[in-house]
Structure 1
Amino acid sequence: MKKLSWFNKVMFFFNIVLTVLTFIAYLLPFMAPKLFPFLSVFTLMMPLMLVLNFLFFLYWLLQTKRQMLLSGLVLLLGITFVSKCYKFSSTNMPEEKDDFTLMSYNVRLFNLYDWIPRKDIAGTIMGFIKEKKPDIVCLQEYSKRGKASFPAYRHKFVFGRDGETGQAIYSRFPIIDSGHIEFPGSANNVIFADIKKGKDTLRVYSMHLQSIKISPDIHEKINEEKSKVIFKRMSEAFAKQQHQAELFEKHKGSCRYKMVICGDLNNSAFSYVYRSVKGKMKDAFEEAGSGFGKSYNYKYYPARIDYIFTDKMINVKQYTTFDTFVNSDHFPVMTRLSLKEEE
């Protein structure tokens, strides 16, 4: 420290503060939001903290200062968090005849209340799905009043508490059973379909956890008072999500089939809720994605809150985020999969 200029001493002080905050963030996925509701919101800052640590590492490296070891160690210890935030290269394995594709998409009621100043949203989404030809489609915030139809899919399960809005699963393969999981005191839920593919039966869960009710344009009208309200709303939503994740975990524990879990978790990949829902399954983005995997249309933050998790007995061969298809506040995500043979 004695050999550092006064400016570098100030920089190193901020580097130390950042290190402490980053290590706290590393612990948060293991801390229940019900016990630490305000701290749980802190996980949303993880991508920014990882970027800042990388910039500090470069800053000291260019000066050949040993202080670079501090941020270097932080990044090394958090390497699993880095892979959840950004993937440098994608996997694109050769397509085989038994592969199948699955798309998950929060369609925001097909723009029922004109959030986007266009009248053709439902038709555009229908055309997009027809073009991409996924074998299984899971739609969150589905609305019958959106008047969207998908005639290419002979099999479907649509569920909504009010008979109008909810979720839907469309499949080219037969659905032999289906159902839903209710969340007390919430309009959100989970639906599932047991899908027969060849000799295998695959359970597909589509989930929509408690919304934090923050619109993509929130940065344009935020102030100190509103930020406090938003912070409180988010912490309460994360606590509700924990309870919902626990209900889901109990339900999936009784499933004897290979599983795919997809949908809108309304939380980051650094959260307790993500860790609880994912369990020992694979994150398709980590397996075969690239870039930030941004799935929520927020201008200044690469939010990935839509996920596809797969059983370990399922190969993830490709993963795509369609982040230029702006017809909802979410972007569609799609993966190409294949079932492993039983050993």
Structure 2
Amino acid sequence: MKNLSWFNKIVFVGNIFVGILTIAGYFLSFLAPKIFPLLSVFTLFLPSFLIVNLFFLLYWAIQFKKQIWLPLLILAIGISNINKFYKFSGIDEEKAKSDFVLMTYNVRLFNLFNWIADEEVPDKIKEFVDLHDPDVLCLQEYSKNTKLKFKQYPYQHIISHGSKIQTGQAIFSKFRIIDKGEIKLPNSNNNVVYADILKEEDTIRIYSIHLQSISISPDIHEKIDETKSRKIFNRISKAFKEQQLQSELIQSHMNDASFPKIVCGDMNNSAFSYVYRNIRGNLKDAFVEAGKGFGKSYDFAYYPMRIDYVFVDEQIHVKSFVTHSDFINSDHFPIITRLTLNK
């Protein structure tokens, strides 16, 4: 550090500070939100720390400075976290008869309250589903108020709650559903549905989840002062505590299923959170396995938020994974993955 200019010394001090925050961020997924509610909010910012470390890496590399080892070491330690945030290359393996395609999509009540100034949104969603024709279709924030019919799916499992405006979850399947049910989430309008599908001679359990919302609007334009920032932090930390309980209920329910499982849907949390780690457990993240780019699944203007997931059992191989971020007919984007069950 003695040979550094005064400016580079300041930069290096900043590098150390960001490095400490990044290392701390690596461990935040192990801290239960109920115990550390405010700290859990910082899991949303870990990708930003990773990006800043990358800039430090490039900064020292251009100058051929030995300080490059600091950001390089920090990024190397968190390589698994980098893969959760950004994938440099995806895969798209050759199709086979044994493959099946799953789509998960938070349809935001099919634009029931005209958040998008387009009356044709429901029809566009229906056309998108018809075009890609997945074998299993999981829809979150499904509304029975729409008159859409997905007739290509002979087997359906839909559970909605509410009086005037009913919203819930829906699982549509081309494979026979031999069992189905719901995990009720206490003190929440959100819920989880599951269905056991029979693919040839194999049973696969599908969970479609929608966890507590953190209530961040995708089109925030108002000025955020200190008071509003504090309110947002408190609201998010409260939601994360509720999500912890919800994730524990889901994990407990999954432990009772002996056959391969797929968990998909809107988790309303980042891939660096306690909730993500708890629900994923020993399952594989399909985006990490076969995705590409940021995997942005929520239409938020200021940040590539990935809060919708597909987790699959070790017995299930991910052959392709695509987030259709160009299809903007909800505040979420549809995810399509092609899978096969290993024999």
- TMscore range, shorter length: over 0.9
* 1:1-343 superposed matches below 5 A: 1-162=1-162, 164-341=166-343
Offset, 1:224: 2.6
- The offset of 1:220, in angstroms, is 4.1
Pairwise CA distance, 1:189 = 1.0
Q: What's the offset of the Cα at 1:228? A: 1.4
Aligned partners of 1:258 and 1:300: how far apart in 2? 37
- Contact preservation (8 Å) 1:137, 1:169: yes
State the distance in 2 between where 1:321 and 1:257 align: 27
Judge conservation of contact 1:122–1:147 (CA < 8 Å) in 2: no
Once the two structures are superposed, residues 273-325 of structure 1 have per-residue CA deviations (whole angstroms, 9 ceiling, x without a partner) of 00000000000000000000000000110100000000000010000000010
Percent identity for Structure 1 against Structure 2: 53
1-structure distance, mates of 2:126, 2:328: 14
Letter in 1 for 2:54: F
Asked if the contact 1:188/1:210 (under 8 Å) is kept, the reply is yes
In 2, Cα distance between equivalents of 1:16 and 1:115: 44
- The residue type equivalent to 1:151 in the other structure is K
Alignment RMSD, CA only?
Answer: 0.9
Give the length in aligned residue pairs.
341
- 1:19 counterpart letter in structure 2: G
Residue range with higher mean Cα deviation, 211-220 or 201-210 = 211-220
Q: Which amino acid aligns with 2:303?
A: Y
- Structure 2 counterpart SS, 1:251: helix
Partner Cα distance (1:34, 1:254) in 2? 25
Structure 1 unaligned regions, length at least 5? none
Corresponding residue SS for 2:66 = coil
Q: CA deviation at 1:161?
A: 2.2
What code does the residue aligned with 1:150 have? Answer: F
In 1, the alpha carbon distance for the partners of 2:69 and 2:272 equals 24
Q: Distance in 1 between matches of 2:116 and 2:225?
A: 24
Distance 1:68 1:321 in 2: 34
Letter in 2 for 1:74: I
The letter of the residue matching 2:81 is: F
Counterpart CA distance in 1 for 2:223 and 2:174 is 44
Deviation at 1:214, TM superposition (A): 1.1
Deviates more, 1:25-34 or 1:210-219: 210-219
Segments ≥4 residues shifted beyond 6 Å: none
Residue 221 to residue 144, structure 1, CA distance change in 2 (3 Å): farther
What's the offset of the Cα at 1:225? 2.1
What amino acid sits opposite 2:18 in the alignment? L
1:46, distance to aligned residue in structure 2 (A): 1.1
- Deviation of 1:167 after TM superposition, in Å, equals 0.5
Deviation at 1:160, TM superposition (A): 1.1
Deviation readout 1:235-257 (Å, 9 max, x if unpaired): 00001000000011110100111
Distance in 1 between the 2:182 and 2:279 partners?
A: 16
Please give the alpha-carbon distance, in whole angstroms, between the structure 2 residues aligned to 1:314 and 1:221: 46
Could you state the TM-score of these two structures normalised by the residue count of structure 1?
Answer: 0.98
TM-score normalised per structure 2: 0.98
Q: C-alpha separation between the residues in 2 aligned to 1:153 and 1:118?
A: 27
Aligned partners of 1:272 and 1:146: how far apart in 2?
A: 35
Letter in 2 for 1:15: N
Using the TM superposition, give the Cα deviation of residue 217 of structure 1 relative to its aligned residue in structure 2, in angstroms: 1.1
Cα distance between partner residues in 2 of 1:334 and 1:242: 27
Rounded to whole Å, the distance in 1 between the matches of 2:181 and 2:3 is 66
Inter-partner Cα distance in structure 1 for 2:284 and 2:241? 24
The CA distance in 2 between the partners of 1:29 and 1:123, in whole Å, is 40
| Structure 1 residue 148: Cα displacement | 2.0
Query: What displacement does 1:232 show?
Result: 0.6
Secondary structure, aligned partner of 1:160: strand
1:194 is aligned with what amino acid?
A: D
Q: Residue by residue, what CA displacement relative to the aligned partner does 1:73-120 show, whole Å, maximum 9, x if unpaired?
A: 000000000000100001111000110000000000001111111111
Match of 2:262, SS state, is strand
Alpha-carbon separation, structure 2, partners of 1:131 and 1:159: 25
SS in 2 for 1:295: coil
Q: Which runs of 5+ in 2 are unaligned?
A: none
